Amino acid sequence: MSLSASQNRAGLALIAPASVLALLFLIAPLSSIFVLAFTDYQLGDRSLSFVGLKNFEALADDPTFWKSLTNTLIYSAVVVPGSMLLGLVSALLIDAGTSLRSFYRTAFFLPVMASLLAMAVVWEFMLHPSFGIVNATMKALGFAPHNWLKDGGIALYVLAVIGIWQSFGFNMVLFMAGLSAIPRDLYDAAEMDGTPNAWARFKLITWPLLAPVTVFVAVTSVIRSFQVFDTVHALTQGGPNKATEVLLYTIYAEGFEFFRSGHAAAITIVFIMLVVGVSLLRFVSLKKNGASA
């Protein structure tokens, strides 16, 4: 099909605003990051010179970077399954219940909408070693209190629990939308077909029909968990002794505390590649599903 010149012009005019915005806010910053990653630029410098792959070579030898990458993956490995499972279970419970549905939905969604930085301060109070409610409860129940955020062995997992608390409501809403798209008739049919219990019905209908939603939730959860920053910044600043150093925090520290912009850009590239990789996985799985359906 060929377009007339005026149609061409109209088309270009229509995509112009979106293109300009994308160029300005997406493509330009991304490409400047790519350029910076191959320079020795430091924040505030008047000049810069290209250093090739030196920044990446330095990363490979930098224990902080590896610690940061490992911590991010551990955090993700706890938060993703945790927030998905909790999201699914609460969605199923709310869906099965008859009363107070909108109350529970709102209550569980609240942490998603609240400012995480403000919530982090609340968590800091709750986790305070001497007068926090968590330790008070532990003591009352006869357990030993912990210095939750200052103990290198558990600080990352404490942040992960906060991460789950913060994000499962989002997953719950997505799962609830998925559940509401499953026809009720199917459950009646399963009842007539003799499914012995709710678990059998879940396996026969709910789980397979939620599969597309589950893939979507998994991918968004992974990406969101890679982006953990607020709680780290507010509660631990990557400590103690880099036990909670995560990728975004390392980027922030390198770029804005040590002013090593080139170095920070190199980590950013690694981070972007991780996110793009996960998105590609989703794309591939969607394509596969589309072909088989």
Partner 1 sequence: MAGVNIRSVAKTFGETHVLKGVDLDIRDGEFISLVGPSGCGKSTLLRIIAGLEQQSSGNILLDGTAVDRMRPRDRDLAMVFQSYALYPHLTVAENIAVPLIMRRLNATERSVVGGLLPSGRGKRKEIAAEVERVCEALSISMLKDRKPAALSGGQRQRVALARAMVRKPSAFLMDEPLSNLDAKMRVQARGEIAALHRQLGSTFIYVTHDQAEAMTMSDRIAVMMGGEILQIDTPDQVYQMPQDLRVAEFIGSPKINVLQAAMSENGALAFTSADTDSNRVHAAFRPEAARLAGEAEAALGGTIHHIENLGADLFVQVMTAGGDLVIVRCDPSGIRPAIGDKVGIHVDETRLHVFGADNRRIAGAFRLEGGR
Q: Name the site residues for partner 1 (rule: CB under 8 A).
A: 183, 185-186, 188-196, 200, 204-205, 208-209, 211, 293
Q: Indicate the residue type of 104.
A: Y
Q: Which residue, among 244, 96, 88, has the nearest Cα to 175 in the 3D structure? A: 88
Q: Rounded to whole angstroms, how far apart are CA atoms 119 and 3?
A: 55
Nearer to partner 1, 181 or 273 (CB): 181
Answer for the pair 248, 135: CB distance below 8 angstroms, yes or no.
no
Nearer to partner 1, 29 or 183 (CB): 183
Nearest approach in angstroms of CB 194 to partner 1 is 4
Nearer to partner 1, 147 or 285 (CB): 285
Q: Rounded to whole angstroms, how far apart are CA atoms 76 and 61?
A: 24
User: Measuring CA to CA, how many Å separate 235 from each of 101, 111, 119, 123, 138?
Assistant: 33, 17, 11, 9, 21
Burial of 231 per CB tally in 10 Å (0-12, 13-18, 19+): buried
Nearer to partner 1, 61 or 185 (CB): 185
Nearest approach in angstroms of CB 190 to partner 1 is 8
Q: What is the CA radius of gyration of the chain?
A: 24
Nearer to partner 1, 45 or 191 (CB): 191
Which segments within the chain are labelled E, that is strand? Answer: none
In the chain the first and final C-alpha atoms are separated, in Å, by: 30
Cis-peptide into 240, omega within 30 deg:
yes
Nearer to partner 1, 42 or 195 (CB): 195
